[in-house]
Structure 1
Amino acid sequence: MIEVAIMIEGQDGIGWPRWKRLVRTVEDCGYAGLYRSDHFTNPEGPVKDALELWSSLTWLAENTERIEFGPLVSPVSFRHPVITAWQASAVDALAEGRLRLGLGAGWQEREHEAFGFDLLDIDRRFARFEEALEVVTRLLRSEKPVSYSGEFYRLREAVLKPRSPRPGGPPIVIGGNGPRRTLPLAARYADEWNAVFIPAGRFAELSARLDGMLAEAGRRPEEVRRTLMTRVIFGREPAAPERERLEAQGVIAGAAPEVAERLGRLAEAGVQRVMLQWLEIDDIEGLEAMASSVLPQLSGR
């Protein structure tokens, strides 16, 4: 059975009242989790409320009992990996082991220029990301003092406490579809690979490539969970040309039967959990209706 979670854009007008309402709805409706982006602002347009990531996740950890949660994804370009690992360990302990730590290289030029962070060129950006993954995984997975010397980060006999209640700390999620950079990093460091905005067929292709990379790294395919983040437009039937365009982008649109059918196809392609991007942040009734009409149809798929 494919698990269904919700994903929201935290920079798209999310303040405390909206966040608390969304958290309670997702918890009460039976969704598997709630995930959010980690940005200061959108790539363009007006600057809206953007509730800071770890503040929001700390509130969620304390005020829910069931759902899993985490960033999709948190950029190492403006969050130092040592601080991220420290925060993640503490929040995971508060939530009794429900955090999934999504990490990324960073990509949005606007926020980096506005706040003075170096995005770097693509090659150096991913070199920094790989070092950050090394730092985070060593700190979270080792109870012994950690030392590391790289181009971007250095540790000397570093230990993080308090620790997550899980051995090895919260699972590391690496998001993206890139076969040249992202998948090799997922094969080496990730506990979960999260694809983004692709249809079922493409997901299956990339998942198979990841299997091969895992074998080369001496890991089993089942060691890395397979998930997908994609947009959902619930309750609206797009016209045929628009439907074709949306399906090519991996977007799920339609009434409950259509949404359930598309989720079934994703399950057949190997998606274990889907994070449905919900942009209608004030449409609580829509979230409730999708839960009550779609989730029961997925039993046994």
Structure 2
Amino acid sequence: MELRIFTEPQQGASYDDLLAVARTAEAAGYDAFFRSDHYLKMGDGDGLPGPTDAWITLAGLARDTSSIRLGTLMTAATFRHPGPLAISVAQVDRMSGGRVEFGLGAGWYEEEHTAYGLPFPSTGERFDRYAEQLEVITGLWRTPVGETYSFQGEHYRLTDSPALPKPAGRIPVLIGGTGPKRTPALAAKYADEFNLPFVDADKAVEQFGRVEAACAAIGRDPAEITRSAALVVCVGRDDAEVARRAAAIGREVDELRENGLAGTPAEVVDRLGTWRERTGITRAYLQVLDLADLDHVEFIAAEVAPALRG
């Protein structure tokens, strides 16, 4: 099983904070560094120094790291128009030497839209726009050099776009979420990976089953889609260290054991093994909430990751 680091910078992180985590993760051998795409903190805390833009951050990391893969869980379709977003992501991919992965979601956090003057349509319209964005962005990327791309949708219209720049290579597309109908259908059509964030294994089994059914409906092999999950992580050498790390992120150990990955390395390896057996995931995004605790990142790489390889 691959382990990836997943951060939530809107809770309070500078670019330098994120760079330190990304470089630590790279040196420790993690497969990828991902971040959320939010403009407003959630819950307690002041969120200082304030939000950092996901793709500006990843552009910096593209130059300040050398091997770790980079991506978003998930870029919000409500934040950007698809044409400029396709340009930004392709440029960051080239800046990184082809290390970008592109997670796109419909957007859900209404308060951040209100706070920064962004329209927040109904759920139905957000998914309509999301579907069109997936078609436009992937269409722009796959248009051969020298040809043009046009699209006439309800929300977006492109005419004779040169469809440039091109990514360094084919950018994997990540789709995720628990929507019962449209989400699995979009995953079957566009996704290289389907991610389930912060759900239990029972719900994951149900949703992966829906994605399989959606693939069957269009004649796609569901094995082409990587299965992954995002889970908050809190690992320690002993119960005292687990408790200290849980307190640092304002969580209870028992709650983290039930809803995330908490405990000693052996406990976390066992829980991830159960996830793999029950759901078929081959990739886990470890949500690291205390970005100053770089020892945590290194400790998991040294004590958890080796038991999950092979």
TM-score normalized by the length of structure 1 = 0.92
Return the offset for 1:10: 1.8
Structure 2 counterpart of 1:254, one-letter code: G
| CA distance in 2: counterparts of 1:29 and 1:211, whole angstroms | 34
Return the offset for 1:161: 2.5
- Give the one of 298, 301, 307 matched to 1:288: 298
Return the offset for 1:153: 0.6
Residue 4 of structure 2 contacts residue 283 of structure 2 at CA under 8 Å; is this kept in 1?
yes
| CA distance in 2: counterparts of 1:193 and 1:83, whole angstroms | 24
Structure 1 counterpart of 2:225, one-letter code: V
Alignment of 1:278 with 2:281, yes or no, is no
User: Could you list the runs of 5+ residues in structure 1 that have no partner in the other structure?
Assistant: none
Deviation string for 1:163-213 (max 9, x for gaps)? 1122xx311111212222211111112121111112333323321221111
Equivalent residue of 2:233, what SS? strand
The worse-fitting range, judged by mean Cα deviation, of 181-190 and 67-76 is 181-190
Equivalent residue of 2:130, what SS? helix
Structure 2 counterpart of 1:22, one-letter code: V
In the other structure, the counterpart of 2:265 is 256
Return the offset for 1:44: 4.6
Residue 172 of structure 2 contacts residue 193 of structure 2 at CA under 8 Å; is this kept in 1?
yes
Deviation string for 1:241-286 (max 9, x for gaps)? x77754553x111111011111112222211111010001110111
The worse-fitting range, judged by mean Cα deviation, of 195-204 and 206-215 is 195-204
Residue 232 of structure 2 contacts residue 256 of structure 2 at CA under 8 Å; is this kept in 1?
no
Equivalent residue of 1:117, what SS? coil
Residue 149 of structure 2 contacts residue 162 of structure 2 at CA under 8 Å; is this kept in 1?
yes
**Could you say if the C-alpha distance between residues 61 and 207 of structure 1 is closer, same or farther in structure 2, counting changes exceeding 3 Å?**
same
| CA distance in 2: counterparts of 1:66 and 1:263, whole angstroms | 25
Return the offset for 1:232: 1.0
Alignment of 1:84 with 2:85, yes or no, is yes
| CA distance in 2: counterparts of 1:212 and 1:78, whole angstroms | 31
| CA distance in 2: counterparts of 1:111 and 1:3, whole angstroms | 32
Percent identity, please: 37
Equivalent residue of 1:231, what SS? strand
| CA distance in 2: counterparts of 1:141 and 1:222, whole angstroms | 22
Deviation string for 1:132-158 (max 9, x for gaps)? 111111111222311111121110011
Equivalent residue of 1:11, what SS? helix
Return the offset for 1:13: 1.3
Deviation string for 1:113-147 (max 9, x for gaps)? 11111111111111111111111111112223111
User: Could you list the runs of 5+ residues in structure 2 that have no partner in the other structure?
Assistant: 237-241, 247-251
Matches within 5 A, 1:112-127: 112-127=113-128
Equivalent residue of 1:276, what SS? strand
| CA distance in 1: counterparts of 2:271 and 2:142, whole angstroms | 37
Return the offset for 1:218: 1.8
Alignment of 1:37 with 2:36, yes or no, is yes
Matches within 5 A, 1:28-67: 28-45=27-44, 46-48=46-48, 49-67=50-68
TM-score normalized by the length of structure 2 = 0.89
Equivalent residue of 2:232, what SS? strand
Alignment of 1:197 with 2:206, yes or no, is no
RMSD of equivalent CA atoms: 1.8
Equivalent residue of 2:40, what SS? coil
